[in-house]
C-alpha cells in the first residue's frame, strides 16, 4: 500500500477539558498518513486518480478548528473517521494530534495521541 503524508499542519482550536482552553484556545499540530493505491496516479500524472492534498488540508482544518471536543483522542478519531467517509480510495488513515502546550506545568514538547483506523475498523 502506498502512503501520502500530510505533516506538521498547525491549527488553532478550542479543544480541552478546562474552561480556559475552550475560551482562549491553543495551537494543535496534526499529522496524517493516508494509505491508498497511488499506482495509477504515478503512471498517469492525473490529479483525478489521487487525493488532492490541498483539499484534504482544508477538510482537516475545518475539523480541527471547528466544534470543540474535550480530548485530543476524540479530535484524532473525528478526523480519521471523517477522512475515511469522504475519501473512499483511502484504505487506512493514521492521525497524530499534538497539543504542544497543555495547560499545566510540564517540561516536555507536548502530548501526542496517534491512532489508526481502516475501512474494516471504522
**Of the residues 3, 96, 99, 105, which is catalytic?**
99
Q: Rounded CA gap, 64 and 121, in Å? A: 22
Residue 96, pLDDT score: 98
10-residue averages of pLDDT along the chain (122 residues): 97 94 94 98 97 97 97 98 96 96 76 93 52
Residue 39, pLDDT score: 97
Residue 108, pLDDT score: 78
Q: Is 99 a catalytic residue?
A: yes
Give the domains, in start order, of the chain with CATH numbers.
2-121 (3.30.1130.10)
Q: Rounded CA gap, 96 and 17, in Å? A: 19
Amino acid at each position: 500500500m502506498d502512503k501520502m503524508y500530510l505533516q506538521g499542519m498547525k491549527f488553532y482550536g478550542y479543544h480541552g477539558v478546562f474552561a480556559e482552553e475552550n475560551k482562549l484556545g491553543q495551537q494543535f499540530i496534526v499529522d496524517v498518513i493516508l494509505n491508498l493505491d497511488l499506482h495509477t496516479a504515478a503512471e498517469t500524472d492525473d490529479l483525478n486518480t489521487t487525493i488532492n492534498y490541498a483539499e484534504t488540508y482544508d477538510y482537516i482544518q475545518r475539523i480541527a478548528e471547528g466544534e470543540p471536543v474535550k480530548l485530543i483522542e476524540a479530535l484524532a478519531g473525528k478526523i480519521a473517521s471523517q477522512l475515511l467517509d469522504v475519501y473512499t480510495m483511502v484504505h487506512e488513515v493514521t492521525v497524530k494530534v499534538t497539543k504542544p502546550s497543555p495547560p499545566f506545568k510540564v517540561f516536555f514538547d507536548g502530548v501526542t495521541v496517534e491512532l489508526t483506523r481502516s475501512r474494516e475498523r471504522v
